[in-house]
Structure 1
């Protein structure tokens, strides 16, 4: 999975648009559900804590974001290690929450 692929998947979701958010690209409907940090290697998605736990348990490509953001369900995806289906599933859940 590449950065370009991850962005394309996010934009395929109903009503999703790309917006700038601080130092990163972000994707939102009524609120932000995913972002791409400048590192170009990862994607952050806003999951429910129980969804985050499931992804982190089942794939080494997923880890909680640092600090309070991670406790709220924000999850870091290592794009090089994640499959297309994993990223698509996480984005769909995050999109539904937004």
Structure 2
């Protein structure tokens, strides 16, 4: 089970990650020119959202249907994917965060990621 504190720790461990509010939600972003949001956490903390490609989304949803599901709106059609935090473990969370971070971070800072 992933707690909000564990999610924050994992997200903020990625290079240049910062937490900023996004309406009532927490968002984790890459603090770089053209850096984007790579994870959001709603106030109820039941799930978090990451931003994958549609192919990555299909892969994780098929591999772990009890953990991952598409966001049920237009964002979900573009790859936005929810993670049930109570069903997730630390390694699965990190993998999803890294995939999402790679899309949010400018290519020139990808080398800062240590796996």
Aligned residue runs from structure 1 range 1-98, under 5 A: 1-29=2-30, 30-59=35-64, 60-98=66-104
Structure 1 spans left out of the alignment, 5+ residues = none
Q: CA deviation at 1:47?
A: 0.7
Distance in 2 of aligned mates of 1:16 and 1:92? 11
RMSD: 0.7
Extract structure 1 runs of 4+ deviating beyond 2 A. Answer: none
- What TM-score comes out, normalization by structure 2 length? 0.83
SS at match of 1:56: helix
Distance in 2 of aligned mates of 1:68 and 1:34? 17
Number of aligned residue pairs: give it.
Answer: 98
Structure 2 spans left out of the alignment, 5+ residues = 105-115
- What TM-score comes out, normalization by structure 1 length? 0.97
How far does the alpha carbon of each residue in 1:24-66 deviate from its partner, in whole angstroms, 9 at most, with x for none?
A: 0000011101000111111100111111111101111100001
How far does the alpha carbon of each residue in 1:45-88 deviate from its partner, in whole angstroms, 9 at most, with x for none?
A: 01111111111011111000011010010001000101111110
SS at match of 1:80: helix
